Amino acid sequence: MKQDGVVEFKPDGQLFTWENDDADNLWLCSNANLSVSHVGPNVKAIYEATRQDMTANGWTELGALPNEDFAVYEKVSGGVKLSAVVQKQAFWVEVDMSAPGLHIGEFGF
C-alpha cells in the first residue's frame, strides 16, 4: 500500500500530511492498515481533491451519500483486494487503507 499513489498525494492547501501505518505483525497474520491524514484549513476542498485522487489512482468508489463526510473505495492490486475509507474530519481528511492478512490464520490465533 505504501507504493500506491494516494500515499504520496499532496492536495492544494494542505499544511502537512500525517502518515500512520500499523506494524507488520506476521505472527498474527492480521490485516495491514495504513492511514494518511491531510491537515489544512479548507477541509472541504482537500476532501474533494483526495476523492478525485483516489479515482485517478485506480480506486473504485463503492459509495458516497450526498452530504456525508465519508466515501468507501476498493482496488485490486497484485491480486489482493484493498479497501479504503476517505473521511472528512473537523481539521483534516483521513484516508484509511486496509489489506487482508495473506497467510494461514489470517484472522489471528
How does pLDDT run across 33-78, given as a tens digit for each residue? 899 999 999 999 999 999 999 999 999 999 766 778 999 999 998 8
The pLDDT assigned to 74 comes to 96
Residue 12 has pLDDT above 90, yes or no: yes
Residue 6 has pLDDT above 50, yes or no: yes
The pLDDT assigned to 100 comes to 81
Cα distances from 93 to residues 49, 74, 82, 107, in angstroms, run 10, 18, 19, 29
The pLDDT assigned to 29 comes to 57
Domain boundaries, the chain: 5-99
The pLDDT assigned to 27 comes to 47
Percent of residues, the chain, with pLDDT higher than 90: 61
Average pLDDT, whole number, for the chain? 85
